[in-house]
Amino acid sequence: MPVIKAMREIERGTAEIIDRERIETLVRNYYEKGEPYRVKLGLDPTAPDLHLGHTVILQKLAAFQQHGAIVQLLIGDFTAMIGDPTGKSETRKVLDRETVRKNAQTYQDQAFKILDPEKTELMFNSTWLDALGADGLIQLTTQYNVARMLERDDFEKRYKSGQSIAISEFLYPLLQGYDSVAMECDIELGGTDQKFNLLMGRHLQRAYNVGKEQAVLMMPILEGLDGVQKMSKSLGNYVGISEPAREIYAKLMSISDELMWRYYELLSTLSLEEITEMKRQVESGELHPKRAKEMLALEITARFHDEAAAQQAKEAFDSLFKARQIPEDIPEVDLEPEIWICKALVEAGLEPSNSQARRDIKQGAVRIDQEKVEDDQLTLEPGEYILQVGKRKFARAKVG
RNA sequence: GGUGAGAUACUCAAGUGGCCAACGAGGGCAGACUGUAAAUCUGCUGGCUUUUGCCUUCGGAGGUUCGAAUCCUCCUCUCACCA
């Protein structure tokens, strides 16, 4: 039964599904009659750098593609001007068309590391929202009322605590919902924080007699490397998918054991059974947790690079941390002779200031050719040295 | 439009004339421990080639004072309440 199997894959790791029946019907229609269906994902073109948090949803889209879906990637070039009220009430900078286009291109390049380009359509919501006009917009606002709008978590909180809510923010969910009308999508994906907006699409599709109501599938928010807050670039706890293999690998190896299982569920393509089995082995002591983490890091690194690069990243990582060896390709700097050690560290880019360098030397964090530096007044004679600060900052210094 | 409150280092936040480079918390960095981590403990967290010293910082510009993050004046910006 391919449908049952497909549904299991589709449901995996989801936070919530609204109208599961409909999804099953769509999948069944595909398998029985070969009819495709449309799955929408809206993207905000403000931050073109994708990280693992975004890939949770992208991978779900990829899963859909394997089961007959045409993915509609929607670039919210129009709505970007308003800004989704979720989160902080920052004033958005208005993006010009050129920037949006460029960001969209970057998005696409990155998204295609996961998605099948053959089954993906790229869309811009300015296409229909520009044409909506004032009357269309007013027409749209009549489809909803303030009381219901205030039901939205975020609005409710702010309203009760007396924080301001701009009228334009009310428009965001409406416009996002209207996108679904224009796109005639069957399913929309999003994070749990998007629930209100996603349901709006359902509501508006009915109001505008599209002839269908989109099912909604929500993915949980991926925790960042700290395991507490959501993964985001601004919090610095993210793994970017265009980062070098070594970075991705090292960052993944730094997560806690607990978080590792979460990542397995949401990011790995291993089946749920395999993951459960692995977890059992770790608990019984048959498998070292570090080993399990290595496999995860390898899998994900390979996804954005390739097997060989992942393997190399692992080796570099092992030699750096396990054997405390020096990595092969480290930055080189030329320094003048008799240079003061602190200054040398700053010039090599290992330290931000002489003072910081001095502090680190006092703490025994600085090494030259593996030897701990004790004297912060040291000057370097001509020659070649490996400078090191902490465990991971290295530079090769040519003095003279 | 009126009234009031506020602006302090990466973030939150104490400090209301000298003991302030500025309490505390978070974050970050480093050391110990380890599995590379996480947790825990410890130290550091403005700059300066010489550090029981010097210089620059507490929204901006002036002023009072031997001495100002702290007092005064003006300016800029935020926020709250009332219209």
The per-residue pLDDT for range A129-148, each reduced to its tens digit, is 988 888 898 889 888 888 88
Q: How far is the CA of A156 from the C1' of B75 (A)?
A: 38
Q: Identify the weakest region by mean pLDDT among A66-75, A114-123, A230-239, A286-295.
A: A230-239
Helix (H, G, I), strand (E, B) or coil at A202: helix
What is the arithmetic mean of pLDDT over A262-280? 87
Q: How far is the CA of A90 from the C1' of B7 (A)?
A: 18
- Strand nucleotide closest to residue A372 (CA to C1'): B31
- Strand nucleotide closest to residue A320 (CA to C1'): B36
pLDDT band at A234 (very low <50, low <70, confident <90, very high): low
Res A204: pLDDT: 93
| Residue A59 near residue A110 (C-beta atoms within 8 A) | no
pLDDT band at A251 (very low <50, low <70, confident <90, very high): confident
What is the arithmetic mean of pLDDT over A352-371? 89
Q: How far is the CA of A46 from the C1' of B63 (A)?
A: 47
pLDDT band at A62 (very low <50, low <70, confident <90, very high): very high
Residue A45 predicted with pLDDT over 80: no
Chain segment A158-199, per-residue pLDDT in tens: 676 656 666 777 888 899 999 999 999 999 999 888 888 999
Res A90: pLDDT: 40
Which parts of A268-387 fold into alpha helices (H)? 272-284, 289-304, 307-317, 341-347, 354-362
Res A160: pLDDT: 65
pTM exceeds 0.90, yes or no: no
ipTM of the complex: 0.84
Owner of token pair 């508006």: A204
Q: How far is the CA of A89 from the C1' of B68 (A)?
A: 36
Residues in chain A: 400
* Chain B bases near protein Cβ (<7 Å): 28-31, 35-39, 43-51, 79-81
Q: How far is the CA of A317 from the C1' of B29 (A)?
A: 20
Q: What is the mean pLDDT of chain A?
A: 85
Q: How far is the CA of A107 from the C1' of B31 (A)?
A: 42
Residue A91 predicted with pLDDT over 60: no
- Return the percent helix, strand and coil in chain A, to nearest 5: 50, 15, 35
Residue A94 predicted with pLDDT over 70: no
Q: How far is the CA of A91 from the C1' of B74 (A)?
A: 30
| Residue A46 near residue A103 (C-beta atoms within 8 A) | yes
- Strand nucleotide closest to residue A290 (CA to C1'): B35
Using alpha carbons only, give the angle A45, A50, A53 rounded to the nearest 5 degrees.
Answer: 115
Rounded CA-CA distance A166/A301 in Å is 42
Q: How far is the CA of A150 from the C1' of B78 (A)?
A: 26
Residue A103 predicted with pLDDT over 50: yes
What is the arithmetic mean of pLDDT over A338-360? 90
Res A96: pLDDT: 67
- Strand nucleotide closest to residue A254 (CA to C1'): B37
Res A161: pLDDT: 60
| Residue A344 near residue A397 (C-beta atoms within 8 A) | yes
What is the arithmetic mean of pLDDT over A75-91? 60
pLDDT band at A92 (very low <50, low <70, confident <90, very high): very low
Res A83: pLDDT: 55
Q: How far is the CA of A152 from the C1' of B81 (A)?
A: 26
Residue nearest to nucleotide B44 (CA to C1'): A359
Chain segment A150-161, per-residue pLDDT in tens: 778 777 766 766
- Residues lining strand B at under 7 Å (Cβ) are A 162-164, 226, 236, 253-258, 288-290, 293-294, 321-322, 339-340, 342-343, 346, 352-356, 358-360, 363-365, 377, 389-393
Chain segment A297-324, per-residue pLDDT in tens: 999 999 989 889 999 889 888 877 765 6
pLDDT band at A88 (very low <50, low <70, confident <90, very high): very low
Which residue type does A233 have?
K
- Strand nucleotide closest to residue A342 (CA to C1'): B49
Res A104: pLDDT: 82
| Alpha-carbon distances of A138 from A85, A135, A183, A201, rounded to whole Å | 20, 5, 20, 17
Rounded CA-CA distance A71/A121 in Å is 6
Res A206: pLDDT: 92
- Strand nucleotide closest to residue A343 (CA to C1'): B49
Q: How far is the CA of A354 from the C1' of B66 (A)?
A: 35
The bridge status of strand A332-335 relative to strand A393-399 is parallel
